[in-house]
Amino acid sequence: MTATTNRTTSQSNADLASTAHLINRIGDQLASQLSLVSLDGTRRPTPPAPALVLVAHGSRDPRALATVRTLMDRVRAQRPGLSVRLGHIELNEPLLPDTLAALGDRDAVLVPLLLSRGYHVKRDIPEMAAESPVRARVAAPLGPHPLLVETLHARLAEAGWRTPADAEARRTGAVVLAAAGSRDPESGIDTGRTAHLLAERLGVPVVPAYATTAAPTVPDALAALASRGRTRVAVASCFTAPGRFATECARAAPWIASAPLGTHPAMARLVLHRYDEAMATPDATRERSLATA
């Protein structure tokens, strides 16, 4: 009898706990819905999504600014209603501090149009954000990522690249991934990872090389490949937009050189992916208040 009573009591307690949990869930849902309604019964306006600020480096080449503006238009077309702004680290207007000042104290996600980690991503951009009233998160740079590799592959195909059809062609084929270069070792790690992903896609070796600061240079990488019998070598331009570095690297190509990444549709998708990623994982981003920590 006692065991039966205990089982009955335990079941009753479980039922009460389950009911209480259900009531709490209903209450939470009602509170959430009521928060959208003002005291006069009208629906409160939905707060705007944080602005997306594209952060470009800046260039004296006028093609760079035109490319970035076109990419911004593609991002807007893929996410209608999202406020998309542009700010430059240097050389071009609007400069990033001016763009942030115009946003006031709004929330914003800053998406660097840079292809690896480095000083600009780690210091310049967070410090500019910290000096503004914007409640800012800094997203990850665009690379490495499969969408970046998709764009690199597409640009190579446009330039005439075809996947080697036989073993002999694979033995003589290779690609030099031409990037800007940085003293930050993490930048080299990111570029190396992009090269690895591209090599998996192409089926031939992909060697990272740099326009400045880091080694090897593009001519040195090409010479090293030639000494190993790699005579059919393409240069993949790992630059967001046309400019001096992209032009110099392309001139060094012994065969074909791809165009900068520019306004390829995958680049707009990648920008929005970095925005969404920063929104979903705020702890992984650098907020304005933590920028100088």
From the list 68, 78, 141, 63, the residue with the least C-alpha distance to 99 is 68
Q: How far apart, in whole angstroms, are the C-alpha atoms of residue 206 and residue 237?
A: 12
Residue type, 85: R
Q: How far apart, in whole angstroms, are the C-alpha atoms of residue 3 and residue 5?
A: 5
How far lies 94's CA from each of 14, 54, 175, 284, in Å?
62, 11, 36, 28
Helical pair 146-159 and 265-280, crossing angle rounded to 10 deg: 170
88 catalytically annotated: no
Task: Tell me which of 57, 145, 153, 273 is the catalytic residue.
Answer: 57
**H runs (alpha helix) in 131-253:** 146-159, 167-172, 185-202, 218-227, 244-251
CB half-sphere exposure, 254, CA atoms < 13 A: 17
Active site residues: 57
